[in-house]
Chains A and B, each alone.
Chain A
Amino acid sequence: MIAVIVRTGFRALRRDRGAFLLAFLLPIAFFSIFAAVMGGMGNSSMPRVSVLVVDEDGSAVSQRLVRGLRREPSLAASTRPETKKGQPVPPEYTAATAEAAVKQGVAPAALIIPKGFGANPVAFGSGTGRQPIRILHDSSDPVAAQVVAGMLEKVVMTSLPDAMAGEGMKYFDQATGGLTPRQRQDMASNLSKLHDQIEKRDQEGNAPAADSGNNFGGLVAVEMRDVVGENKRSPMIAFYAAGIGVMFLLFTASASAGSLLSEAECGALDRILSARVSMTTLLAGKMTYCTLLACLQLTLMFLWGAAVFHLELFTHLHGFLVMTAATSFAVASFGMLLATVSRSRAQQAAISTLLILTMSALGGSMIPRFLMPEAMKKVGLFTFNAWAIDGYTKVFWRDEPVWHLAPQVAVLVGSGIVLFLIARRLARKWEYQ
Chain B
Amino acid sequence: MAASPIPLRIDSVVKRFGDLTAVAGISLDVQDRTCLGLLGPNGAGKSTLIRSIAGRIRLDSGGIQVFGQPANSAAARAELGWAPQELALYPLLTCRENLEAFGQYQGLRGKALRGAIQWCLEWAALTDRADATVKNLSGGMRRRLNMAAGIVHRPRLVLLDEPTVGVDPQARNRIFEMVEALRKEGTTVIYTTHYMEEAERLCDRIAIMDHGRVIALGSKEELVAQSFGGRSDVLMRFASTVQNSAEWAASRGGTVEDGVGHFAVLQPTDIAVLLGGAARDGLEVIDVTLRRPNLESVFLQLTGRGLRQ
Contact = CB atoms under 8 A, between A and B. Distances in A.
B58 A432 contact: yes
Given A266-B87, A267-B88, A271-B82, A276 B51 contact: no
Nearest to A270: B56
Nearest to A259: B90
A268 B56 contact: no
A271 B87 contact: no
Interface string B77-119: 1101010111111110000000000100111000000000000
B102 A271 contact: yes
A270 B105 contact: no
B58 A433 contact: yes
Contacts of A272: 102, 105
B54 interface: yes
Contacts of A266: 86-89, 91
B105 A276 contact: yes
A145 to B, nearest CB: 52
Interface residues of A, number: 13
B57 interface: yes
B88 A276 contact: no
Nearest to A265: B86
Interface residues of B, number: 27
B7 interface: no
A273 interface: yes
A2 interface: no
B70 to A, nearest CB: 13
Nearest to B105: A275
A174 interface: no
Interface SS of B by simple majority: loop
Contacts of A277: 105
Contacts of B84: 267, 270-271
A433 B82 CA distance: 17
Contact of B80 (A274, A432, A433): A274
B175 interface: no
A273 B106 CA distance: 10
Given A267-B84, A271-B82, A271-B149, A432 B106 contact: no
Contact of A276 (B78, B86, B91): B78
A433 B57 contact: yes
Interface in B124-159: 149-150, 153
A276 B58 contact: no
A432 B54 CA distance: 11
Query: 3 closest A-B pairs (Cβ-Cβ)?
Result: A267-B86, A267-B88, A275-B105
Interface of B: 17, 51, 54-58, 74, 77-78, 80, 82, 84-91, 102, 105-107, 149-150, 153
20 contacts: A266-B87, A266-B88, A266-B91, A267-B88, A268-B88, A270-B51, A270-B54, A271-B84, A271-B88, A271-B149, A271-B150, A274-B56, A275-B106, A275-B153, A276-B74, A276-B77, A276-B106, A277-B105, A432-B56, A433-B17
